[in-house]
């Protein structure tokens, strides 16, 4: 009886998700297979045959992958350091890590525009130190998008990894060292494998967020198109809702493929779960 009651509590949430998320997604996907009243794959064939469309897709995947890798490289040691602090220090450090999430992505993107511009803080500093003679072209490039996205999503992977690492018994490191492993080897053989669940979840959050992000690529990428800005252009500017639906469906499929691949990778790296 009690379990039935608990299941009933799920009904409002399930109805809300079904009506406002599942049904619209299914209608969007279904509309891509019908054009002018006939069943067709024309939209997908047109997309994957067009070099310009493929270039946008490849740029988006490349930006998302580099963003995810950089977040892992930067976030992993930071998360490990935070997880080994005292509860009070951990609370302060986590608050500092989460603080960027409290600022709008628009504000953060405009900040990077000021820093990365030709007359921005970075170029002016490098020229003043004599390291470069001409300003670097960083703004409105994929590099600028990656920098902005790393700043945007790094807190997510830090929080996810801290939640996993703080449950790893420190005595495991001591046990590995007592068996002859140095600190680095013990870290690679003990901490890294046990952190795989958090690493996979964090990587999925960062990749999917980077792949579907609009504001940061739009502001820092300029005319450099990614799939989210391309979707917006077709839907709002060109009013081509059919192609926009095809692009949205491709984004959904790639997202689920990445999640599936990440889960398979997690099972291989950590078969015991």
Residues with Cβ within 8 Å of 190's Cβ and at least 6 positions away in sequence, in order, are 168, 172, 173, 176
CB atoms within 10 A of CB 174: 11
Name the 3-class secondary structure at 36: coil
For residue 270, the model assigns a pLDDT of 63
Residue numbers in the chain where pLDDT is lower than 70:
1-2, 269-273
Report pTM: 0.87
> How does strand 38-39 pair with strand 34-35?
antiparallel
Q: Where are the beta strands (DSSP E) in 2-149?
A: 34-35, 38-39
C-beta of residue 192 within 8 angstroms of C-beta of residue 208: no
CATH 1.10.3720.10 fits 38-103+154-269, yes or no: yes
Which one-letter DSSP state was computed for residue 214? Answer: -
**Side-chain half-sphere of 32: how many Cα atoms within 13 Å?**
20
Q: How far, in Å, CA of 63 to CA of 74, rounded?
A: 16
CB atoms within 10 A of CB 131: 8
Interval 36-93: pLDDT, tens: 777 888 888 989 998 999 999 999 999 999 999 999 999 999 998 998 888 889 889 9
First to last CA, the chain: 32
Q: What is the 3-state secondary structure (H, E, C) of 108-129?
A: HHHHHHHHHCCCCHHHHHHHHC
C-beta of residue 64 within 8 angstroms of C-beta of residue 210: yes
């Amino acid at each position: 009886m009690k379990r039935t009651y608990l299941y009933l509590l799920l009904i409002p949430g399930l109805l809300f998700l079904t009506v406002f998320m599942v049904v619209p997604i299914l209608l969007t996907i279904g509309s891509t297979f019908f054009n002018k009243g006939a069943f067709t794959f024309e939209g997908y064939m047109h997309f994957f045959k067009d070099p310009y469309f493929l270039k946008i897709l490849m740029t988006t995947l490349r930006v998302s992958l580099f963003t995810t890798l950089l977040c892992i490289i930067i976030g992993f040691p930071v998360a490990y350091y935070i997880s080994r602090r005292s509860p009070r220090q951990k609370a302060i450090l986590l608050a500092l890590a989460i603080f960027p999430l409290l600022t709008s992505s628009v504000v953060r993107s405009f900040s990077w525009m000021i820093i990365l511009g030709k007359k921005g803080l970075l170029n002016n500093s490098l020229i003043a130190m004599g390291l470069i003679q001409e300003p670097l072209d960083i703004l409105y490039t994929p590099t600028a998008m990656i920098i902005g996205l790393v700043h945007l999503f790094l807190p997510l992977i830090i929080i996810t990894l801290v939640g996993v690492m703080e449950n790893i018994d420190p005595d495991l490191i001591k046990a590995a060292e007592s068996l002859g492993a140095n600190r680095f080897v013990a870290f690679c053989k003990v901490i890294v494998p046990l952190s795989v669940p958090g690493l996979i979840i964090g990587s999925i959050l960062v990749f999917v967020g980077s792949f579907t992000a609009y504001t940061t690529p739009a502001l820092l990428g300029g005319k450099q198109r990614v799939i989210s800005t391309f979707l917006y252009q077709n839907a709002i500017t060109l009013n081509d809702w059919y192609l926009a639906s095809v692009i949205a469906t491709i984004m959904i499929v790639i997202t689920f493929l990445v999640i599936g691949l990440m889960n398979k990778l997690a099972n291989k790296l950590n078969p015991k779960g």
